[in-house]
């Protein structure tokens, strides 16, 4: 037996349905698509889940609210418990050292939040601090500096 003599088993393959090839075939004229309507047209495809059949979609029926403040500053937040875990006594904490340890993305302003406790003396530099973070930093004997 040679490679070109191989054939699939009887009944394992089906003949391809050739539609739109005359009424005698049984699949001529409308080619199995029925009459008119969106699904009979060319380009018929699966509709997106939000498509409502031409009815005004929900996101257009609901009124607009609020606005996006273009001058809003988005901070990457880091908690004191994270700083306490990753830094040792006397080290300086700043956006670059936080980036080196994989805690923040490059170029993002950093805000320090006060979740957890600070058990080491550190010098922390960040763009913003929460009130609770400032209290806990001072209570531990550490220092902080606000960056511009």
Over 50-91, what HEC string results?
CCCCCCCCHHHHCCCCCCCCCCCCCCEEEEHHHHHHHCCCCC
The whole model's pTM is what?
Answer: 0.59
Query: pLDDT tens, 44-79?
Result: 788 888 899 889 999 999 999 999 999 999 999 999
What is the domain partition of the chain in residue ranges?
76-146
Tens of pLDDT, residue by residue over 77-119, are 999 999 999 999 999 999 999 999 999 999 999 999 999 999 9
Nearest to 93, CA basis, from 124, 130, 128, 137: 124
User: Which CATH number describes the domain made up of 76-146?
Assistant: 3.100.10.10
**Distance in angstroms (rounded) separating the CA atoms of residues 137 and 127:** 15
**pLDDT tens per residue, range 17-47:** 999 999 999 999 999 999 998 889 898 788 8
**The pair of three-digit structure tokens given for residue 12, joined into one six-digit string:** 């394992």
């Amino acid at each position: 037996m040679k490679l070109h003599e191989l054939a699939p088993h009887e009944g394992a393959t089906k003949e391809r349905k050739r539609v739109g090839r005359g009424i005698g075939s049984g699949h001529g004229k409308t080619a199995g698509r029925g009459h008119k309507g969106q699904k009979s047209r060319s380009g018929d495809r699966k509709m997106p889940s939000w498509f409502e059949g031409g009815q005004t979609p929900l996101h257009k029926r609901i009124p607009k609210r609020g606005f996006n403040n273009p001058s809003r500053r988005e901070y990457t937040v880091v908690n004191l418990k994270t700083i306490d875990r990753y830094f040792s006594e006397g080290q300086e904490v700043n956006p670059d050292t936080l980036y080196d340890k994989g805690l923040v993305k490059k170029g993002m302003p950093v805000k320090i939040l006060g979740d957890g406790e600070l058990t080491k003396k550190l010098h922390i530099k960040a763009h913003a601090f929460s009130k609770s973070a400032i209290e806990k930093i001072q209570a531990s004997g550490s220092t902080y500096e606000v960056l511009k």
